Structure 1
């Protein structure tokens, strides 16, 4: 759908908050906290951005875009946009939702990872569900964040730690949760190393806790890239995937077009059903159970051993 950029607010030197409205001023459909949208950036690349507004506000959608120093142009082209420009976005999708009615909840975020977490805080607060929110930020960003996002409205649930290095963050997290008697669900968003620390510390403290996370980019996994073959069940066509290309690229080369998003194995847009064969899962979107079942594959990153039969 095409949306209007109603307002752009800078947060420090490398982040911008975009407030989007319907071109015809119609209300947006309801979305659940933690949802994200696909954005067709001016560069032509599709990027996923978490919705960071109040899910109960249907008048606008808000996304926070960090300009990445090393990127393929998506975030840089977003930062070149102006108020009044029109962009294309997809319908909200959610792979990081709140489990309502099963608190207490612990929200943990770092940096731009605040984006899906703030929508969760809105939902939990409106539902009067017990939650604590711990956010780690740079002091240079905190003032601007408070100006564009309603952080003060979440007192006393919100605890903020500023300018901590990587070694001090686990200590601060351990200190904060020491007095918590029980947490049913933990939701974390931030850099991979940060979320690994949150998962390890909280699961050790709260034995029955369910851990939920969302990542910005795919995990860099070291693996030996070998060629393999795929058979398309509908047509009977068999094609080879070389060690220098992805399954997605091989399919497109043979005229099989799939919907795509991140191309990093984190959004799940291109997932295909597997009928037979052994998948080497290199994505960060499928659950451990789904990977063990060997019935799905993310063709943008994952590979296979031998011959893979796909439901295509």
Structure 2
């Protein structure tokens, strides 16, 4: 379910939770667009260098339209969005946003769902837990943090009707054992789906273990909040079939940036190949995929590219723009 609503949201409440996580309750002038579990909104962040867009998962109960709930980690290693929001957001402040959009939906027909949330990656999992609980479907949510004093959302978890389906894990082992995939990842069986969100290393570990345990790629669902992406490479040409414009993408440029210089705008938001905003159809050429957004099946089809970071394997790509 994808929406393209332009929204003006007001901060109704801010809670500074454990683990440097800020929780925001956002309201509109009336009812907000509905969302399903796994959805996010794009938030415009005003930085000294100009506006940037960042994506934040909706962690409240799907189906409710009175407010949106976000959890935002203050990450000093990020590119400025989260730190700026932590510094500026207070009750009464307004945000410009778009959405909701959903690239991380729950699978239809699953008989059992195993959810892994690492740190701030628990936010979409909380919405998934609400939806699975409402539908009466079997699930377990494994929520991993560094330690008890870095574990946010404890009040939400304690009050949730599905709290018995949530297992806490702390890396330091104090009060809750770390994740043990030999114990916590069940054997692959028909209808069992795995969902994972969190830091890249955490996600890669879970995904690799699930693949080794026999889970097919189409039942392992993932959403990256950030990714270490290297967009550099050899120069190549991009030809735009609709507009007839050709550009050269240099070693330090991206397709999106090169096209903007030529007067062709591609919407870009995350700049890390994780949100899917810049996905563009490819008519000819071999793609060097650098993103974390497209599935392996979509990559094998070879007809879509994330223009913010991916490149050509050969000398030329033809795009349908």
- TM-score, normalization: structure 1? 0.91
Question: Are 2:98 and 1:90 aligned?
Answer: yes
Which residue of structure 2 lines up, in the alignment, with residue 155 of structure 1?
Answer: 163
- Residues 101 and 13 of structure 1: is their aligned pair in 2 closer, same or farther, counting only changes over 3 Å? closer
Residues 53-86 of structure 1: per-residue CA shift (max 9 Å, x gap): 0002211001111111123221111112111011
Structure 1: which 5+ residue stretches go unaligned?
none
- Residues 48 and 151 of structure 1: is their aligned pair in 2 closer, same or farther, counting only changes over 3 Å? farther
Distance 2:306 2:249 in 1: 14
> Number of matched residues?
305
What is the correspondence of 1:1-312 to structure 2 with a 5 Å cutoff?
1-12=7-18, 14-22=20-28, 24=29, 26-43=30-47, 44-80=51-87, 81-137=89-145, 138-142=147-151, 144-148=152-156, 152-164=160-172, 169=178, 172-177=180-185, 184-205=192-213, 207=215, 210-220=219-229, 225-304=233-312, 305-312=314-321
Distance 2:220 2:188 in 1: 16
Structure 2: which 5+ residue stretches go unaligned?
1-6
Distance 1:90 1:301 in 2: 22
The alpha carbon displacement at 1:212 in A equals 0.6
SS in 2 for 1:153: coil
Distance 2:159 2:117 in 1: 13
Distance 2:24 2:242 in 1: 43
Distance 2:114 2:214 in 1: 11
Residues 203-256 of structure 1: per-residue CA shift (max 9 Å, x gap): 4445568111111212445x8610000111123221111112111110011111
Distance 2:154 2:229 in 1: 33
Contact 1:219-1:283 within 8 A present in 2 as well? no
Distance 2:57 2:232 in 1: 33
SS in 2 for 1:291: helix
Distance 1:270 1:133 in 2: 31
- Residues 3 and 150 of structure 1: is their aligned pair in 2 closer, same or farther, counting only changes over 3 Å? farther
Superposition CA RMSD, Å: 2.2
SS in 2 for 1:45: strand
The alpha carbon displacement at 1:150 in A equals 5.5
SS in 2 for 1:91: strand
The alpha carbon displacement at 1:185 in A equals 0.4
